Amino acid sequence: MTEKKPFEALSVETLPKRLGGTAALTTRIGSDAAQWKVREVGDGNLNLVFIVEGDKGAAVVKQALPYVRLVGDSWPLPLKRSFFEYHALTRQERRAPGSVPAIYHFDEDQALIVMEFLSPHIILRRALIDGRELPKIARDIGLFMAHTLFRGSDLSMVTKDRKADLALFADNVELCDITENLVFSDPYFDAKMNRHTNPQLDGLVAELRADRDLKVEAQRLKHLFAANAETMLHGDLHSGSIMVTDTETRMIDPEFAFYGPIAFDVGMLLANFWMAFFSQRGHEEKGSRDSMRAYLLRVTAETWSVFRAEFSHLWRTERNGMLYQKSLFEDQGDLLGSEQAFDHMLSSIWTDLLGFAGIEVHRRILGLAHNADFETIADQDLRARCEAKALRFGRHIAVNRRQIHSIDEVNKLAALIEQESRI
CB of 311 to its own copies, least distance (A): 15
- Contact region with its own copies (CB under 8 A), list: 63-71, 285-293, 318-326, 394-402: 318-326
Q: Within a 10 A sphere around the Cβ of 56, how many other Cβ atoms?
A: 12
Output b/e per residue, 151-181; b: 16+ Cβ within 10 A: bbbbbbbeeeebeebbeebeebeebbebbeb
Query: How buried is residue 148: exposed, middle or buried, by Cβ count under 10 Å (0-12/13-18/19+)?
Result: buried
CB nearer its own copies, residue 12 or residue 173 = 173
Q: CA distances (Å), 138 to each of 220, 235, 247, 269, 370, in order?
A: 29, 19, 12, 11, 23
Closer CB to its own copies, 278 or 342, in the complex: 342
Residues with Cβ within 8 Å of 356's Cβ and at least 6 positions away in sequence, in order, are 221, 225, 263, 264, 266, 267, 268, 271
Residue 226 or 413 having the CB closest to its own copies:
226
Nearer to its own copies, 32 or 334 (CB): 334
Which residue type occupies 357?
A
Cβ within 8 Å of residue 417, ≥6 positions away: 278, 389, 392, 393, 423
Which residue in the set 30, 42, 78, 337 belongs to the binding site for its own copies (CB under 8 A)?
Answer: 337
The single residue among 24, 182, 341, 346 that binds its own copies, judged by CB under 8 A, is 341
Q: Interacting stretch for its own copies, rule CB under 8 A, among 16-24, 49-57, 121-129, 330-338?
A: 330-338
Report the nearest approach of its own copies to the CB of residue 330 (Å).
11
Is 353 an interacting residue with respect to its own copies (CB under 8 A)? no
126 binds its own copies per the rule CB under 8 A: no
Number of residues that bind its own copies (CB under 8 A): 51
Smallest gap from residue 217 Cβ to its own copies (A): 9
Tally the C-alpha atoms within 13 A of residue 244's C-alpha that lie toward its C-beta: 22
Does 219 engage in binding with its own copies (CB under 8 A)?
Answer: yes
Considering only the stretches 137-145, 301-309, 320-328, 400-408, report the one whose residues sit in contact with its own copies under the rule CB under 8 A. Answer: 320-328
Q: Whose Cβ is closer to its own copies: residue 16's or residue 394's? A: 394
Residues 194-213 that bind its own copies (CB under 8 A): 209-210, 212-213
> Which residues, including other chains, have CB under 8 Å from residue 110's CB and lie 6 or more apart?
5, 7, 8, 10, 63
Which of the ranges 65-73, 141-149, 234-242, 325-333 carries the binding residues for its own copies, by CB under 8 A?
A: 325-333
**Subset of 156-195 contacting its own copies (CB under 8 A):** 159-160, 163-164, 166-168, 170-171, 173, 176-177, 180-181, 185, 188-189, 191
Indicate the residue among 405 and 412 with the shorter CB distance to its own copies: 405
Assess 344 for contact with its own copies (CB under 8 A). Answer: yes
Instruction: Give CA separation, 89 vs 98, 342, 359, in Å.
Output: 11, 28, 26
Separation between Cα atoms, residue 255 and residue 299, nearest integer Å = 26
Q: Are 24 and 11 spatial neighbours (Cβ–Cβ below 8 Å)?
A: no
Handedness of CA 124, 129, 133, 139 (dihedral sign): positive
The helix (H) or strand (E) run that includes residue 138 is helix 137-151
How buried is 150 (Cβ within 10 angstroms: 0-12 exposed, 13-18 middle, 19+ buried)?
Answer: buried
In this structure, are residues 276 and 125 in contact, taking their beta carbons and an 8 Å threshold?
Answer: yes
For the bound state, the minimum distance from the C-beta of residue 171 to its own copies, rounded and expressed in Å, comes to 7
Q: How far apart are CA 136 and CA 322, in angstroms?
A: 34
Tell whether residue 314 is a contact of its own copies (CB under 8 A): no
Question: x/- string (CB under 8 A) for its own copies, residues 224-263?
Answer: --xxxxx---------------------------------
Cis before 16? omega within 30: no
Nearer to its own copies by C-beta: 195 or 326?
326
CB of 346 to its own copies, least distance (A): 12
Residues 6+ apart with CB under 8 A from 392: 204, 417, 423
Q: Which residues bind its own copies (CB under 8 A)?
A: 153-154, 159-160, 163-164, 166-168, 170-171, 173, 176-177, 180-181, 185, 188-189, 191, 209-210, 212-213, 215-216, 219-220, 222-223, 226-230, 322-325, 327-329, 331-332, 334, 336-337, 340-341, 344-345
